[in-house]
Amino acid sequence: MRDQKLTRLDNIKIKTQLRMVFLFLIVIPIVILGLYSYILARNNLNAQTKVSIQGGVNVISNGLDNNAKRESDVLKFFSYEEALRYKIEHAKEDPFSITEEMTENIEPLIWYFIGSDSNIENIKLYSDCLEQQHIGEFISKPTDETIMKWYEKCHDEYDTMWMVDDEGEIYIVKALLDVNTSSKVIGMATLKLKKDNFFSIINQSSYLNNGILLIDEEGNIVGQKKLNNEALDDAVIQDIRDEKLEKDSEGFVVSDQYFLLESNEISNGWKLYYYVDRNEMVADVFSLLSSDIVIAGVIFIIAYVIATLFSRRLSYRIIRLNDAANEIKRGNLNVRINDEGKDEIGELSDSMQAMAIKLNDMVEEINRRNKADLLAKESDIHYREWLFDFVVERNNDILAVVNVENYTCNFITSNAETVLGISLDTLKEDVRSIATAQKAEGTDKLDNIIMSSIKSGEAIILEEIKFENVKTGEQLFYRGVVICTYDDGGKRMAIALYDRTQEIKRNHQLQEALNAAETANKAKTSFLANMSHDFRTPMNAITGFNLLIEKHADDPDKVKEYTHKISLASHNLLGLLNDVLDMSKIESGKTTLDIKEMAIGLLLEEINSVISFQAKAKDQEYIVNIEEMEHDMFMGDKQRINEILMNILGNAIKYTPEGGKIEFLIKETPSSSEGFQNVEFTVRDNGMGMKAEYIDKIFDAFSREETGATKSIQGTGLGMAITKSLVELMGGTIRVESEEGKGSTFIVNLRLKAVDENDVDFWKGHGISTVMFVTENRTQTEQLRAAFEADKIEIIDTKNGFEAIHAIENCNSAGKLVDLILINDILSDMTAAELIREIRSKDRRNNSLIFVMAENFAAIEDDAKAAGANEIVQKPLFVSNLKQIFEDITSRAAGTDNKEVVNPLQGMKFLAAEDNDINADILIELMNMEGATVTRGCNGQEVVDMFKEAKEGDYDMILMDIQMPVMNGYEAAAAIRSLESDWAQRIPIIAMTANAYADDVQHAFDAGMNAHVTKPIDIKVVEKTILEFKQ
């Protein structure tokens, strides 16, 4: 043990040992003397502190007791005022008396007490006998939650009570009792104290760093003087609350941190605690101790300096000797040791100098012999590295040698950075970073394979690894080998990656070509199978009902029924042909958009007129809602948008059972493109819905979900494919949300250019200067209001029938006419028809236009028209709809005196080119029904010859088929236009053909034709087209 202590002492430096000796001999006696002085002073200070605390407690408690009694007496004074109590008790029968008593007697007293007593902040009286909420400034009904609680407490305690509110303010509360029995509480008097003045005696008390705490009967802190040490202050308060106060024989609580004395209870029930921070008490004692420490420190410094000077010379020689030894250890054998001493340290220095010289001579000889060998080996290594780099630079193969301990690369080919797009520094630091360029796609990541090979020690061969250059995105394919090896340096890993990009890309291209061919073959087979089934279904109906007509030719009712069903089957077949044609146009890129101004309101009116009828037929609820539609006019292809929405709404009707619900929502939001708006169409139904796996295929051509619920519903499966293609052609988006059995939601978003309307003063031009709205729902008419306000039209708003009648009476009284009245179909106080009858009955001369805005025409049309409504308009009502109605009214008024034309084609003469006899018979019969005559040519050449032989006026127009023998329609039209006569240039030529592509229409115009009508013939379309060119 003794030897161990000596060893530890030897490990301490000489200078440190000398300093420790002086420390023990000088400083320790001084410290002992200081501690004795500290203990003696502390004991004397404790006795002195107790005497000061006792005196402070007596002074403060007596002062607070006097203040409490004085303020309690003030409040009792008011409770003894019989006149005041009597008048409060009878305040409801005689409110004037209490007002007079307060004004003349009580309020002056209150102001006197407040002014004369600096401890009083406010005095207030409360009573629930008052009729009013308050009388003057100082008496009121108790309404505040705290006041109500005190008021209730007065019923249990009549004597003076001291209260603290939620904000820590202190009040004295005293019940006011009735005069006769003094047992009934009629009110309450309160006195609010000024805490700063009331507790000033606490704040003025100062002995050392003392703290004072004043607590009421409920444990609330009503007054406090805190210590400088907030943490100690909180600890004292917590000990008081937890009743952890252990008192000595003198009544003091003495702890390690504080002295505390509790006073006797004050007259109002409060308790006073006076306490002192013991750290402040012993401050002087610590000052004495600090002086001793300073003296000890000065002596220690002097001793330290003497010891340092004595030891420096000795330790300096030893340090120089140690530095020389370290230089020799680092390889510096030319070190020089200069020590002139003749003692043991000097002899050791001479021996180390001789050893350094001897070692230096030996190292120089070894270096000379190795230098020649190293030069020869370096030359060979440089040649091998040059040859390897030369080979690697001419291909994309990557080789690397890896340290298995930390995955750093001892070697990696320089082409790795160019091939993979990863810096060489990154790859050298951790070879696993190569995986950032790998496209795993179902295979293990290369970093995992490297770690697995290191762990198992087995070679791993990878037939195909796909990389993507992280900078250029180029796709690369490699074959790889990862193998662990052993050499003189220990375990290492070799990674070899062989470039197979061109080979695999060729294989992929061949596979893609094969897949495309197989897909095209399947699509052709699927298309022919679908078309065969869908064409045969209506054709079977047509041929079947034709046979039934022949069998029942003598039964007119059955013939009418069969012809109607043949017509339905024909339209079904035509719809299928149109769908296939549309898909063919879209897939061939021949579909074009006809972009022009369109009114959303008119578009919705056309759609709703069809959809609402179909929904009604299935007893379905069809709801149309508009949100935030700022514009009505947009640039867009109205026909294509109509087709999109009709497809979606038609499917909603079709796949929603009877009694279901279809919602159609139109919403406008700002677009990031200037001048454009996003118009969102949402169709939501509670019908059959779709399975999750079918949602991804709903937009595929000929795709239909074959479930038990949908098998009975016919369809080609082309509608949604056409819809999606048209939406994307317009630059929009379409998405679907659906759940089987709960319904579907389709959302179409189109970015359309908004058009500002330029028909200034339209309404005033049509005699409209004042408009009245009768509706509770302002949002339905916001767009109309904005249009009227822009034209400075006066708007009168009413919410129900009664308000509307009153407003009209006011206008009549002022001699002002309401030009247009827009009435909601549902009112809160009467029906729309009742309101209209009331308006018309007020003044038979009233010629205001009255429009009823309705969702269901049929429900109110008869009653509203009978009551005197001019029009029933569809909700939601757009500006364009309303303007169109006014245009129609104007047109009807202008055409009242014109004679009605029964048959617009009556007396017209047509030259028709038609090679098919059946088609020709149909055309001639239809034209004869319209009062026109048709002369037929069987091909283009015959028509040209017949036109040459005719005189001007023999034919009013030429109807030209396109595909005909001898000469087709294009050639025939060009031949007629090439004739020199003026009639040949002027006569209208209309193409009537089954060729419906946009290119076909353009060919017709290029040949000199004026219009194009698609077969099969719709006589209304033909009639409309002919009338455009009728002279």
- What CA–CA distance (Å, rounded) separates 144 from 171? 15
Q: What is the pLDDT confidence band of residue 3, given thresholds at 50, 70 and 90?
A: low
By the 8 A CB rule, do 974 and 915 touch? no
Q: Minimal CA–CA distance to 101: which of 175, 141, 110, 150?
A: 110
Q: Which residues contact 359 (CB under 8 A, 6 or more apart)?
A: 328, 333
Residue 7 has pLDDT above 60, yes or no: no
User: Alpha helix (H) ranges present in 846-997?
Assistant: 857-867, 879-894, 917-929, 940-949, 969-977, 982-986
pLDDT tens digits, residue range 427-469?
888 888 888 888 876 667 887 888 888 787 778 888 788 888 8
DSSP structure string for 599-658: EHHHHHHHHHHHHHHHHHHTT-EEEEEEES---SEEEE-HHHHHHHHHHHHHHHHHTS-T
* Number of other residues whose CB lies within 10 A of the CB of residue 274: 26
Q: Quick one: 230 exposed, middle or buried, by C-beta within 10 A (0-12, 13-18, 19+)?
A: exposed
Q: Quick one: 357 exposed, middle or buried, by C-beta within 10 A (0-12, 13-18, 19+)?
A: exposed
- Report all structural domains of the chain as residue ranges with CATH numbers, in order of start: 81-201 (3.30.450), 202-276 (3.40.1840.10), 380-591 (3.30.450.20), 597-754 (3.30.565.10), 762-895 (3.40.50.2300), 909-1030 (3.40.50.2300)
Residue 40 has pLDDT above 70, yes or no: no
pLDDT tens digits, residue range 499-536?
888 877 788 788 877 876 676 566 566 656 566 656 66
CA-based max dimension of the chain? 154
* Strands, E assignment, 511-620: 596-599
Any idea which of 65-69, 794-798, 821-825 has the lowest mean pLDDT? 65-69
Residue 649 in tokens:
């709404």
Q: What are phi and psi of 158, to 5 degrees?
A: -85, -20
- What CA–CA distance (Å, rounded) separates 394 from 415? 9
Q: What are phi and psi of 774, to 5 degrees?
A: -120, 90
Q: Of the spans 70-74, 287-291, 713-717, 960-964, which averages the highest pLDDT? A: 960-964
Q: What is the pLDDT confidence band of residue 853, given thresholds at 50, 70 and 90?
A: confident
Q: What's the pLDDT score for residue 968?
A: 92
Residue 490 has pLDDT above 60, yes or no: yes
Q: What's the pLDDT score for residue 274?
A: 75
Q: Which residues contact 913 (CB under 8 A, 6 or more apart)?
A: 936, 937, 939, 940, 942, 943, 958, 959, 960, 961, 964, 969, 972
Percent of the chain with pLDDT over 90: 8
- What CA–CA distance (Å, rounded) separates 622 from 959? 43
- What CA–CA distance (Å, rounded) separates 643 from 1010? 26
Average pLDDT, the chain: 78
pLDDT tens digits, residue range 567-591?
766 766 666 676 666 666 666 556 6
934 forms beta bridges with 910
pLDDT tens digits, residue range 354-370?
777 777 777 777 777 77
The amino acid that residue 352 corresponds to is: M
- What CA–CA distance (Å, rounded) separates 638 from 575? 19
- What CA–CA distance (Å, rounded) separates 510 from 490? 47
Please report, for residues 211, 626, 735, 952, 968, the alpha-carbon distance to residue 697 in angstroms, rounded to integers and kept in the order given.
Answer: 82, 30, 12, 60, 43
Any idea which of 188-197, 641-650, 857-866 has the lowest mean pLDDT? 857-866
pLDDT tens digits, residue range 216-264?
777 777 777 777 777 777 777 777 777 777 777 676 777 767 777 777 7
User: Alpha helix (H) ranges present in 671-800?
Assistant: 692-695, 719-729, 762-765, 782-790
Q: How many residues does the chain have?
A: 1031
Q: What's the pLDDT score for residue 288?
A: 59
- What CA–CA distance (Å, rounded) separates 263 from 213? 11
- What CA–CA distance (Å, rounded) separates 308 from 14? 10
Residue 268 has pLDDT above 80, yes or no: no
Q: What's the pLDDT score for residue 152?
A: 87
Q: Is 666 helix (H, G, I), strand (E, B) or coil?
A: strand
Sign of CA dihedral 579, 665, 619, 858: negative
- What CA–CA distance (Å, rounded) separates 205 from 214? 14
Residue 887 in tokens:
């245009």
Q: What's the pLDDT score for residue 972?
A: 94
* Strands, E assignment, 316-431: 398-403, 409-412
For the sheet with 475-487, list strands across it.
Answer: 409-412, 398-403, 490-499, 475-487, 460-468
- What CA–CA distance (Å, rounded) separates 593 from 641? 10
Q: Of the spans 58-62, 398-402, 969-973, which averages the highest pLDDT? A: 969-973
Residue 416 in tokens:
């790795």
Q: What is the pLDDT confidence band of residue 975, given thresholds at 50, 70 and 90?
A: very high
Q: Quick one: 614 exposed, middle or buried, by C-beta within 10 A (0-12, 13-18, 19+)?
A: middle
